[in-house]
Amino acid sequence: MGTYIAKRVLQFIPVFLGVTIILFVLQNVVPGDPIRLITGGRAVPEQTEEIMRINNHLIQVDENGKALRDENGEYIPTSLVDRYFNYMNKLFHGDLGTSYQKKVSVTSIFAQKYPYTVRLAACAIALEAIMGIGAGVLSAIKRYSFWDILVTLFTSIMVAIPAFWLGMLLQWFFGILMKQWTGGAFSMPISGAGGPSSPYYDWMHYILPAFTLAAVSTAYTARIMRSQLLDVMNQDYIRTAKAKGLSKRDIIVHHALKNALIPVVTYIGIDFGGMLAGAILTETVFNWPGVGYEIYRAITARDWPIVMGGVTIIVVVVMVINLIVDVSYAFLDPRIRLGSSKNEG
Amino acid sequence: MAEFMNKPMGRRAFVGGALATGVLGVLAGCGQKGNPSAAGSTSGEGASGGTLRYYINNPVSIDPYNLMEDQGTQVGFQLFDSLTQYDFEKGEIKALACDSWEVNDDATEFTFHLKEGTTFHNGDTVVAADWKRGWERILNPETNPESPSGIGYHLAMVDGYDAFTAGEADELTGVTCPDDNTLVVKLAYSYADFPYVASHPALVPVPEVALEDFQTFFLSPIGNGPFKMDGNWEDGQYINIVRYDDYYGDKAILDGVNFVIQKDVETAYREFQAGNLDVCDVPATQIPDARETYGESEDGYTATPDHQLLLGGEPSTYYLTINCAQAPWDNVKFRQAVSMAINREAICEEVFHGTRTPADNIVPPGIAGYEEGVWPYCKFDQDAAKALLEEIYPDGNYPTITLTYNQDGGHKEIMDVVMASLKEVGIEAEADTNEWATILNRYSSGDYEIGRCGWVADYPIMDNFMYPLFFSTSGDNYSQIGDDAIDAALLEARATIDDDERIAKYQKLDAELGEQCWMIPLMFYTHTTVVGDNVAKFYLDPQKKADMSKTELVSA
Amino acid sequence: MKYPKPIPEAGTVTMHTVSKATTGDGASRTLWGDAWKRLRRNKLAVIAVIWIVLVAIIALTCDLWAQQLLGDPLYASTAEMSKNTLLAPSLEHPFGTDVTGRDILCRVIYGSRISLSVGIIATAISTAIGLVMGALAAYYGGIFDTIIMRLADIFLAFPYTLFVIAMIAVIGNGIQNVFIAIGILGWPSIARVFRSAILSVKENDYVDAARAMGASDVRIVARHIFPNSVASIVVYATMNIGSAILTEAALSYLGMGVTPPQPSWGAMIQEGQTFLTTAPWMMIMPGLAILTTVLAFTLLGDGLRDALDVKMKDA
C-alpha cells in the first residue's frame, strides 16, 4: 500500500509542474503589459513604473535592487524561465502574489471564496448521492418497469441539459412563478449566498444552486449505480444466495448493494473533487461568491495572479481528492494495487 | 480619473460629503428571515432609522487607496469626508471637512483650515498629519509594492510628487502641516481648480493603523465620515455600514446601509422587484415598465413615494474614441462625416426610451461652461455626411472600419444602431468585441481604430473633460492627439485664477476641439435609479452620490 | 480505473433486447451492415437520427426561406421596433420576439448553424489530434507513450471550462477561436480511447503478418489498425459533438463566443436572462433547442455503441 501511494504522489509531480508551466506560458503570451493591467490602462511616471517592474520581477536588477540597463539604456527583461522559478519559489513559501485589481493577496481572496465553494459542493454531493443512488437502485430492481424507463429517460435529459439554463429555469419557477402563484407567501432566493440583507435564511440560498450543480452528476451516478447493481446481481455468489432462498430484499441490502456501491462511491468522490474546482456557470447564474466565478472574472479582467493562484490551488485540491479516492479504492479492492496502477481516466 | 465606464448602469459620483435635501421620517420594519414576502421591510433590529439595502456591483476598492469607480466611491463617500464638496444646487465648491481655505496669487499654494474636533471611527482625533498620511499612502510605492494604487495621478500637480512616487523622497514635500488644524498644499504649477480636486473621495485622512496592516484596512477602512464599517467587505456579497454616532456633522437618520453586491443590473433588478432591495438601477429595457410602476421623480434627483424613479441628467458623456493618428481617421473630414452619419436620437429613443439625451459637446450639461451645440458635427445629417464622403473618396471606395467595444453592460444594442447608421451612408463597420480590461489596454497603446468609451468627471469642471482627453502626455489621451497649441491653451487656462476668465478660455478651446472632431460624442448619461415603496426620501446628486445621511425610510 | 467511463447501458429497454437478439444475427457479414440493422431497431436512436437530419436540413437551407417567413434574424426594422418588441409566442411568431423585435424562431433557426458547425468542426479537430497522439502513444509505446499520456493527464487536470475560457482569453473572442479552443482541448479523451483501441488490436495476427510483409508503420496503422478501431472512435466522436455544442453554448452565454448580432443559442439565453420575469420565452426557446439537439447526439451515440458493440471490441 505504501508503495502504491508513493507512486501516485510521484505521478502527481510532473502533472503539477506541467499545469503550472502551461498556465505560466498562457499568461505570458497574452498581449498586454502587466503594468498597464495593474494601473487600469493608464501610463504612470517612469520611476513608478520601474519600481512596479522590479517588484513584479519583470526586469533584471543588480545586487542592490537597482534596475539594470543595457547599452541603449533599456531595461533588461527577466527571462520566462527566471520568472517561472521566481513564481514557484514564492509558491513554496505560500505566496501566490497580489491581485492586480483587488490589491490584496491572492491567498486572502481564496481564503474568503473557498468556503462557499466547499459548502455548495458538499450540498450538491449529498443531493447527488441520495438521488443518484436511489434512482439507480430503483431502476435496477424494477428493471424494464415504468420506473426504469422514467429514470433512464430523465438521466439522458439531465446529461444533455445546459447547466446554466437549468439554473435559470429553476430561478424562473421557484423564484418568480412560485411567488406569483402564492401571492408572495413562498419563493426561493435566486441569487447570492445569503447574509444580513437577505430576507431568506442562509440555508435556503443553497438549494437551487446545489440542485443545478448536482443535476448532471446525479444522472451519471444513477446510471452507474444501475449497471453496477445489475452486474453484481448476475454474479455467482448472488445466484447462490438466491438459490439458498434468501429474499430479494435481503440479497440486495446485505450482499449486492455493498459491492455495487464501491465504483459509485468512487465516482462520487472524484466528482466532489471536480466540484471543488468551482462551477463557473452555476456560480455565474446564481451570483454565488465562489472560486469558479472569481477565476472566470479574473480571466476576463486579465487579473493574472488570481487566475494563476486560483488554478494552482484547484489543481492541488482536485489531485489530493483523487489521490484519496484512488487510495481508498485500492484499499477496498486489492486487485487494483496488484494490477496496473495507471490511471486510465 | 475620469472613469471609463464599463457598464452604463453603474456610474460614479464625485463630490464628497453630505449635502442636499432635508426630510424626515422614521422608521423601520423588522424583516423576518424566512418571510420573503415582506417586501419593503428591512432587516434591522427595528430601531429608529432602519437599514437601507442598496445595490452595487462588486467594487474595485472601498479604501481611499484605490477608490476609482462609481461603485466603490459610493461606499467611500459614506465612510470618509474629503476637504471640499461640490454643491450642485448652488453650483459651487464648498468646504466639507475644513472650515475654509485660501489661495495665493498665482494659484500655487492652498491653505486649508481643518474643522476642529473631528474624529476617526476608532476614536482618534483627526489632525493635519492624518491628511498628509492619507495622501501619501496613495502615492507611496511601498504601501503595496506589487500593486500600486491606480489613482495617484490626481495629485500629480502637487510639489514633490515625482520624487515621492519614484521612491526618492521620504515624504510628499508639497503637503505640510504647520499645526494640527492647518494643511498647506504647494503645487508645482498654477492650478486654480485645486479645491475641486480636493473634493475627490480618495483624498481623505487615514488613521495611523492604516499603515500597520494594509489588508485589514483595505477590507474595513476606518474613516471620518457619517457611517462606519460593520464587519469586513465580503467580496462579491455585501458591505455593511452603520451610523457613526460621534460624527462631527449632522448625524444620519438611518441606522445603517447594506450595500448588496450583485454581478449585474439585471440580476439586481430582479431582486429589487422581489422586494429584496431598496435602491437599485433599472436596466434600459425595463424603463417604460418602471415608469408606470414606480412613477417618475419630478426633479430627477429626489425620490419620494410614488415618484420613485430617478431620471435626472448626469454630467458624463458616452462617446466613440478615435485613433486620430491612423488613416482614414487622420482625415478630419472623415471624422466629421462619420460623426454626422450616426443617428443619436435613434439610440436615445429606441435603446434608452428617451431617458438619455443626444450629445452635442464632449462637455456635458451641468458642468459650468457647457454650451449647447458647440461641436457642430454632433448632429444627424446623412446628406452632409454623404457629401463629405464623396468629396474624400470620389471613386466611392469607402474604407471598412473596425469598431471596438465590450459586449456586456448593454453596449451591444447601442453599437448595433451605430453600425446600422454607418451602413446607411455606405460605410461597412466590423465589430471587434473584447473584454473591457483588454480594450483599455489597446486604447492606451493606440492599437485600435474607433471604439466605445464613456467619460465621467472626477470633479465637475470643464478641465476634467479637456485636460485628460486632449493633453498630449495624458494617460487618457486615447485619440493620440499631440498638438502643442492645445497643450499650451490647456496650461494657460489652468493657471487662470479668475473663474469666469478661466471658463471662457476652456469654452474657446472646446469650440476649436469640436471643429476638429477628435472624438464622436454620442449621448449624455442620466440616472436610471429606482427606490422601493418603503423609502420616504432619497436624494441622488447628478454625479450619483447618494446622500445616505439624509435618507429616510417609511415607518412600517 | 475508468471513471468517468462511458455510461453503461444508457439506452432503454429496447436496447437491451436488441443486444441479445443480434448475437445470433449472421445474415449480414459486414460490421456496418450489422450495426445499421441493430440501430434501426433502436427506436430512440432512430428518433435521434431523424431529429439531427432535420436540424441539419434546416441549418443548410434556412437562407432560402427563413427570412421570407420570419423576418431578418440580425437587424430588426427600427421603424417597427416599438410595436414588435417582446411579443409572446403566437401564430405569427411561434417562439415570440425579443427586445429589438426580432423573431426568436428565426434566430433559433440561424443559431443551429453555429451549434452544428461547432459540434462538427471542433470534434473533427480534437479527433484528428487525438488520433495522431493516440496512435503515436499506442503504436510506439515506451517514451512516446509516457510523454503523451502524461500530457493528456496535464490537460485533464485543468478544470475544463476554465481552461477553454483561458484559452479564448489568450487567442481572442470570436467563433473561429471557439472552434479552435474546444477542438484543441478535446484531444486527450479521444487519444486515450484510440490508444486503448489500438492496443487491443495491435497484437492481432494480421498486424504481425502485415509487419512481416514489410508494410510501413503508417500503412499498418492506416490500413489495418484504424479500420478495426474505427467503431469506438465513431461512438466517441458522436458523443463528443453533443458536449462540444454544450461548451459553445456556455461560452456564448458568458459572452465569449459569436460576434453580435449573430445568433447563437447560448448567447440568446444570455440575452433572455434579463427578461426572465417579463419574457421567459426568450430564454426557454433556445434552451430547448440545445437540449433536444444535444440529447439527440447522446442518444445516437448510445445507440451506435450498442449497435457497434464497442465495449466488446474494447475488452
Contacts of A50 in chain B (CB under 8 A): 166
Please state, in angstroms and rounded to a whole number, the distance separating the CA atoms of residues B470 and B467: 6
Distance of CA C11 to the CA centre of its chain: 18
What do you get for the CA distance between the two ends of chain A, in Å?
21
pLDDT in tens, B181-202: 999 999 998 898 999 999 999 9
Mean pLDDT, residues B111-125: 93
CB neighbour class for A259 (10 Å; exposed up to 12, middle 13-18, buried from 19): middle
Higher pLDDT, B367 or B146: B367
Higher pLDDT, B370 or B349: B370
* Shortest Cα–Cα distance, C68 to chain A (Å): 30
The answer, for C73 touching chain A at a CB cutoff of 8 Å, is: no
Contacts of A180 in chain B (CB under 8 A): none
Cα–Cα distance list, A94 to A82, A97, A105, A106 (Å): 19, 9, 11, 10
May I ask the CATH class of domain B2-258+529-554? alpha beta
* Shortest Cα–Cα distance, A331 to chain C (Å): 13
Surface of B (417-436) touching A: CB under 8 A: 435-436
Q: Is the peptide bond before B328 cis (omega within 30 degrees of 0)?
A: yes
Contacts of B235 in chain A (CB under 8 A): 102, 109, 112-113, 289
CA angle B194, B197, B202 (to 5 degrees): 145
Give the number of other CB atoms < 10 A from CB of residue B325: 12
DSSP B240: E
For B266, which of C259, C260, C273 is closest by C-beta distance? C273
DSSP A139: H
Return the top range by mean pLDDT from B148-152, B434-438, C43-47. Answer: C43-47
CA angle B23, B26, B31 (to 5 degrees): 135
pLDDT given for residue A248 in this prediction? 76
pLDDT at residue A247 greater than cutoff 90:
no
Mean pLDDT, residues A90-98: 85
pLDDT given for residue C314 in this prediction? 31
Cα–Cα distance list, C253 to A171, C112, C246, C256 (Å): 17, 15, 10, 7
The answer, for C68 touching chain B at a CB cutoff of 8 Å, is: no
CA angle C115, C118, C122 (to 5 degrees): 155
Helix (H) or strand (E) segment spanning residue B243: strand B238-243
Please state whether beta strands B450-456 and B401-405 pair in parallel, antiparallel, or not at all (unpaired). Answer: parallel
Please state, in angstroms and rounded to a whole number, the distance separating the CA atoms of residues C252 and B134: 44
Give the number of other CB atoms < 10 A from CB of residue C209: 11
pLDDT at residue A260 greater than cutoff 50:
yes
The closest of B200, B26, B190 to B110, measured between CA atoms, is B190
DSSP B462: T
Contacts of B285 in chain C (CB under 8 A): 99, 274-275
Please state, in angstroms and rounded to a whole number, the distance separating the CA atoms of residues C199 and A282: 39
pLDDT at residue B173 greater than cutoff 90:
yes
Name the band, by pLDDT with cuts 50, 70 and 90, for residue A41.
Answer: low
Contacts 24+ apart (CB under 8 A), A101-104: A101/A37, A101/A38, A101/A40, A101/A301, A101/A303, A101/B60, A102/A303, A102/A306, A102/B60, A102/B61, A102/B235, A103/B61, A103/B63, A103/B65, A103/B66, A103/B144, A103/B147, A103/B149, A103/B218, A104/B214, A104/B215, A104/B218, A104/B219
pLDDT at residue B46 greater than cutoff 70:
no
pLDDT in tens, A271-286: 888 888 878 899 988 8
Fold matches, B2-258+529-554 and B313-526: no
pLDDT at residue B481 greater than cutoff 50:
yes
The answer, for B274 touching chain A at a CB cutoff of 8 Å, is: yes
Return the top range by mean pLDDT from A58-62, B62-66, B414-418. Answer: B62-66
* Shortest Cα–Cα distance, B433 to chain C (Å): 7
Please state whether beta strands B51-56 and B256-261 pair in parallel, antiparallel, or not at all (unpaired). Answer: parallel
Please give the CATH number for the structural domain made up of B313-526.
Answer: 3.10.105.10
Q: Assess: ipTM above 0.90.
A: no
pLDDT in tens, A3-34: 878 887 888 888 888 888 888 888 787 766 77
Our separate counts of H helices and E strands in chain B read 16, 22
Backbone angles phi, psi at A287, to 5 degrees: 55, 45
Give the number of other CB atoms < 10 A from CB of residue A212: 28
pLDDT given for residue C80 in this prediction? 63
Handedness of CA A331, A333, A334, A338 (dihedral sign): negative
Mean pLDDT, residues B517-541: 92
Please state, in angstroms and rounded to a whole number, the distance separating the CA atoms of residues B505 and B490: 8
Residue labelled with grid coordinates 472524484? A270
pLDDT given for residue C274 in this prediction? 76
pLDDT given for residue C294 in this prediction? 95
The closest of C295, C294, C311, C231 to C9, measured between CA atoms, is C311
The answer, for C295 touching chain A at a CB cutoff of 8 Å, is: yes
pLDDT in tens, A289-301: 999 989 988 888 8
Residue type, B275: G
For A149, which of C2, C12, C158 is closest by C-beta distance? C12
Please state, in angstroms and rounded to a whole number, the distance separating the CA atoms of residues A99 and A81: 22
Q: Picking from A40-44, A332-336, B120-124, which range would have the lowest pLDDT averaged per residue?
A: A332-336
Helix axes C142-157, A304-332, angle to 10 degrees: 120
> What are the residues facing B321 on neighbouring strands?
B451, B519
For B283, which of C100, C260, C274 is closest by C-beta distance? C274
What's the number of CA atoms in the CB half-sphere (13 Å) around residue B421? 25
Higher pLDDT, B67 or B44: B67
Please state, in angstroms and rounded to a whole number, the distance separating the CA atoms of residues B361 and B155: 27
Please state, in angstroms and rounded to a whole number, the distance separating the CA atoms of residues B382 and C172: 35
Choose from C77, C78, C283 for mutation: most chain B CBs within 10 A.
C78
Contacts of B60 in chain A (CB under 8 A): 101-102
Mean pLDDT, residues B72-82: 93
Give yes or no for a contact between B222 and B207, defined as CB atoms under 8 angstroms apart.
Answer: yes
Give yes or no for a contact between A309 and A135, defined as CB atoms under 8 angstroms apart.
Answer: no
pLDDT given for residue C126 in this prediction? 93
Higher pLDDT, A68 or B179: B179
Chain B residue closest to C168 (CA)? B434
Helix (H) or strand (E) segment spanning residue B433: strand B429-433
Please state whether beta strands B227-229 and B182-186 pair in parallel, antiparallel, or not at all (unpaired). Answer: unpaired
The closest of B263, B469, B254 to B364, measured between CA atoms, is B469
Q: Is the peptide bond before C261 cis (omega within 30 degrees of 0)?
A: yes
Q: Where are the domains of chain B?
A: 2-258+529-554, 313-526
Helix (H) or strand (E) segment spanning residue B309: strand B309-310
* Shortest Cα–Cα distance, A181 to chain C (Å): 13
Return the top range by mean pLDDT from A37-41, B70-74, B331-335. Answer: B331-335
Give yes or no for a contact between B482 and B472, defined as CB atoms under 8 angstroms apart.
Answer: yes
Please state, in angstroms and rounded to a whole number, the distance separating the CA atoms of residues B2 and C9: 61
Contacts of C276 in chain B (CB under 8 A): 270
Helix (H, G, I), strand (E, B) or coil at C265: helix
Mean pLDDT, residues B356-361: 93
Contacts of C242 in chain A (CB under 8 A): 160
pLDDT in tens, A203-246: 889 999 999 999 999 999 999 999 888 888 887 777 787 777 77
Give chain C's residues under pLDDT 50: 1-28, 312-315
The answer, for B271 touching chain C at a CB cutoff of 8 Å, is: no
Please state, in angstroms and rounded to a whole number, the distance separating the CA atoms of residues A95 and A105: 8
The answer, for B156 touching chain C at a CB cutoff of 8 Å, is: no
pLDDT in tens, B8-34: 332 222 222 223 323 222 222 222 343
pLDDT given for residue B555 in this prediction? 67
Name the band, by pLDDT with cuts 50, 70 and 90, for residue B515.
Answer: very high
pLDDT given for residue C216 in this prediction? 78
Q: Picking from A48-62, B164-178, B245-259, C232-246, which range would have the lowest pLDDT averaged per residue?
A: A48-62
Give the number of other CB atoms < 10 A from CB of residue B508: 13
